[in-house]
Structures are given as C-alpha cells and as structure tokens.
Structure 1
C-alpha cells in the first residue's frame, strides 16, 4: 500500500473545530462526553504512540468532528469510525473529503452506539485508537475487547483518573475492577498525560493515554466466571476475601475452600491479587461446586 502522508492532510485546529461546530449548530453535550481535540500535535502524538501502520484496520470510537480521524487515515489501511451522534456521523465523510481527499476512501462511518456494536463492516479490526467519551470509557473499552478478539493493540485517551485505574498494578491504591478486567485481555501500560487545554470545550480534568496490548487470557477459566469473582471481591474491598466472596461462593466456608484450593490466603484482600489469581479462584469455585 502506498503511504499518502506526503499528500499532507490538513488537521483540525481551534478555528476549524469551532467553524464546523457552528455550521452544524452543535453545542457539545456533557451527556455524550463531547470534548473535541483542537490541537494537531496531540492527534499526531496519539497516532505515533498507538504504533499503527499500513496493515491496520482501526476502530475509532467517538470520532466527533474528525480531529483524530484525519491523523489516522494517511497512516493505516482503513478507519471504521463508530459515532452515536447521527449529526456528527453524517458530517464526517464530507469533512474527510475536504481535508484529506487522497485518503477519504479509507473511511467507513458506522452510526451506532459502541456499547451495542458486535460486528463491523469489512475486514476484522486489528487496532482501536480513540478519544473515548469520559462517561462510558471503561464499559466501551471492555465491551469492544470482548466483542472483537482481533483487536491486538488499543490506545485510548480517557480521564486521567480512569487511566490511572486501568494501568494500576496489584496492591496500589487505584487498583480495582477496571484494572483486573482490562488485564484479562491485555498488558496495560500508561502512555502519557494530556492537558485539558487541547480540548474544546476544555474539560475540568486532565486526560491520560493508556496502551493495551492483547495477550492470551489467563488459564482456561471462563471470563464471565472470573469477572463475577472480581466484582464480588471489590464490592466489599475492605473485607478479607473469605468474607467478600461468601455471597459468590454460597458461604464463607465455601469461599475459604475455593481460596485454599487456588492457593490464596483467605485473609487476603482483593486489591492484592492478579487477574491470574482471580482466574484460579473462579476455577476452584467451579470444581468445588460441581
């Protein structure tokens, strides 16, 4: 495939974003988590850190006015942009045609809620790169990782607090349900900070980049069974696992038996365990209950 980066697609700056929004009569809504990137250097950085290339089919969730889309299209094979706002979804192809005509054919827009998408047109996606709406960032990320096993690499921009939680290691203050569930699918690492001044309107919080690189699921445990253990363990995170998992196991004694079989001290708390530990507990619970 030829690389059209030499054609030099125009990227959206502050004036472009405001003009496009005005043409659409758009007022960014907090309910949809709409904060549009107005800094070309930020979207170039995101594409660079994502490590995507000419063989990648990239899913972009919430493309908005197209800031990141325009930076991705010259670099990758195809961008499938999933946008819940019908007004924005309808306008995106025209914006891409105007700003990056040489690569406009690489864009496919899917007007849909990313939380409900389970199939996409064209070849299976290999990567996801997105500025995720803050209010649904973790559910969207986990849903798409589950729905599309072909995703081998993911770079998302999320609220800094969420970025910290996703990449937190066991034993840290921010380690919790998102950390463990993301680790089920991938190796997760922080990939940089993003200030609030690169957005319009500027959010009240800073953002962070998180890189996820797909790896095999731990052990042969069932994902739903493992996630049930994780949810139970962190629902009462101040309690020992023997107490926190008593409802999941049916009794404190049954929870202790499953923990012991999994090689976990029943006095441990959930924030000390890796995703592999949770997988062993789920497997032990299944064998004890059968």
Structure 2
C-alpha cells in the first residue's frame, strides 16, 4: 500500500462512519469473526460518551481492552497521558498501527487479556494504568472483570460498553427481576452505575440489540470482611442457580458437605424461606462467614 493510499485509508476525518470500517476491513481482507463478538463502535457521540463516563484526563494511563479498529482508542489518546491497548485478533494489528502508529503515547499489545499477568506485564512496561475502558462481548465481561479485580493492579475505575440487558443486571437492586449473582458480586467489587445507552445503529456490523455504558468505581478495600472469599462466591452462585426455591433448599448441598447450614442461617439473621433475590451483598457475606464459624463450633 502506497503512503498516499494509506493516508486516505486511515484519514481521521473518515473515522466516524461505517464506510471507513468497510473500506479498511476490505483493504486488509479481513472477515469478521462471530466468535470474537466483533461489532465495531464508530459513532463519535457514543465514543465521547464513553470517554466522558470514564473520566479520562491528562494524568491517566488507560488500559483499553479490545480496541478493535481504534475508534475509541483515537479518542482516548487525545485525552490520556498514555493508552495501552490489548487486542486479541492479530489481523487487526496493522489496522491499529496504520491509524494510531504516529501517537507517542500509544502502546499496542497482542494478547488475550485473560492470559496476561497484568501486574507483571504493566510493571515491566513502567506504566500502571489508573483506568480501564473496554467494549467487549457480553460472554467475556464477567471473566474480564474478575481478572482485573484479582490482578492486584489498583485501577480506579472500569468503564464497559456491553449489551443493555447485561448492563441492567450489573446495576440491579435486590428484589428486582434483573437482580442476580453478578449484581451481588458487583456490589462487593465496587460502586456500579449506568452511564447511558448506545443504540445498535452505532456499530458496524449492526448487532441485534442495543448496548449500554457502565462504570465501576472499584473499592480500594473490600466493603465487608470475608473469612473465605471462595465460599462467599460459591454461596451466591448456589443461591441463584435455583433462584425460585427457598434459600435453604438452594443451599442444601452445603449441609451434605458438613456445613451447619441451619445454625449459619440463624446466626446470620436470615430466614431460611427467603429467596435469593431478596438478599443483599452484606447478607451473603454474613451467611458465608457464619457457615465457617458455626460449622467450626
């Protein structure tokens, strides 16, 4: 590709249009992979909404997960001190380099974010991100969030663009239809808020559903102490796996493993007939700890 052709192809003036996406993919012979959930966000207003929601400023180092074709990355680079973009699809690396290679505050990493030792990799680079921004398929959202939270990197916040229905579950309150296990866990990880919706028409190719932007302000210290975090997560999963059953019935398997379930429920002040969606994160934390203390007696 000649310099003149490349200059036209990657012209930022063309960036925020579906024609740009089509032309660049065609020039590189790239056919999108459904398994990677590749729907590229190109709408300028939606992109600015995400950058504003993340609160990116000139002192921030941003970790972007799934930069795709670089639309959001381009906007982040204009605001941030540095952007580290992690892309899993090797075919998109020349696309990102073609558009963003001239930025001195840009680092591109080819990797699956779930396989990256973030603390070690970022420490080696001498760059420790303060914020995370990602536009990822819904089926990897929770694994990615878990990976970020457990990484040991002190991120201030994580801003995600995900399916609207999934976003509603992330911010759902106890007692609502959307409230589920992930709603409880999100309250343990941080304060989550819905920052707006992104219509399906803002993506190429156009998905079947609208998306939403959420921001998670991660806690520096857990809001509750836990004797066994793995048990806390497990109790939540078990409760919601049979959410229409009474809580005691949903957790019956714990009793067969030797846990003093009835004593734990009583000690935590939880009615055995209550259903999973009625309990708060603090309720689940008390119950998990009570399972430890009451069984040990």
Matched residues in 1 for 2:86 and 2:259: separation? 47
Q: Once the two structures are superposed, what CA deviation does each residue of 1:222-250 show, in whole Å capped at 9, x if it has no partner?
A: 33221111111111111111111121343
Match of 2:179 among 175, 181, 187: 175
Which aligned pairs between 1:84-233 and structure 2 lie closer than 5 A?
84-97=88-101, 101=102, 104-119=103-118, 120-121=121-122, 122=125, 123-215=127-219, 216-221=221-226, 222-233=228-239
Aligned to 1:281: 287
Matched residues in 1 for 2:36 and 2:49: separation? 24
Once the 2 structures are TM-superposed, how far is the Cα of residue 270 of structure 1 from its aligned partner? 1.3
Once the 2 structures are TM-superposed, how far is the Cα of residue 251 of structure 1 from its aligned partner? 6.6
Matched residues in 2 for 1:68 and 1:249: separation? 50
Matched residues in 2 for 1:55 and 1:127: separation? 11
Aligned to 2:248: 242
Contact 2:128 2:153 in 1 (8 A): no
Aligned to 2:52: 48
| Structure 2: stretches of 5+ with no match in the other structure | 1-11
| Structure 1: stretches of 5+ with no match in the other structure | 1-8
Matched residues in 1 for 2:148 and 2:259: separation? 37
> Could you say if the C-alpha distance between residues 96 and 223 of structure 1 is closer, same or farther in structure 2, counting changes exceeding 3 Å?
same
Q: Once the two structures are superposed, what CA deviation does each residue of 1:156-186 show, in whole Å capped at 9, x if it has no partner?
A: 0000110011111111101101111222111
Once the 2 structures are TM-superposed, how far is the Cα of residue 14 of structure 1 from its aligned partner? 2.0
TM score, norm. by length of structure 1: 0.89
Which aligned pairs between 1:51-90 and structure 2 lie closer than 5 A?
51-90=55-94
Matched residues in 1 for 2:186 and 2:293: separation? 25
> Could you say if the C-alpha distance between residues 54 and 270 of structure 1 is closer, same or farther in structure 2, counting changes exceeding 3 Å?
same
Once the 2 structures are TM-superposed, how far is the Cα of residue 253 of structure 1 from its aligned partner? 8.1
SS in structure 2 opposite 1:31? helix
Aligned length: 277
Contact 1:12 1:39 in 2 (8 A): yes
Contact 2:161 2:214 in 1 (8 A): yes
Q: Once the two structures are superposed, what CA deviation does each residue of 1:83-138 show, in whole Å capped at 9, x if it has no partner?
A: 111111343123113xxx3xx12111221112222323332221111111233222
> Could you say if the C-alpha distance between residues 240 and 218 of structure 1 is closer, same or farther in structure 2, counting changes exceeding 3 Å?
farther
SS in structure 2 opposite 1:276? helix
**Is 1:272 matched with 2:269?**
no
TM score, norm. by length of structure 2: 0.87
Matched residues in 1 for 2:128 and 2:264: separation? 39
Once the 2 structures are TM-superposed, how far is the Cα of residue 149 of structure 1 from its aligned partner? 4.1
Matched residues in 1 for 2:185 and 2:143: separation? 10
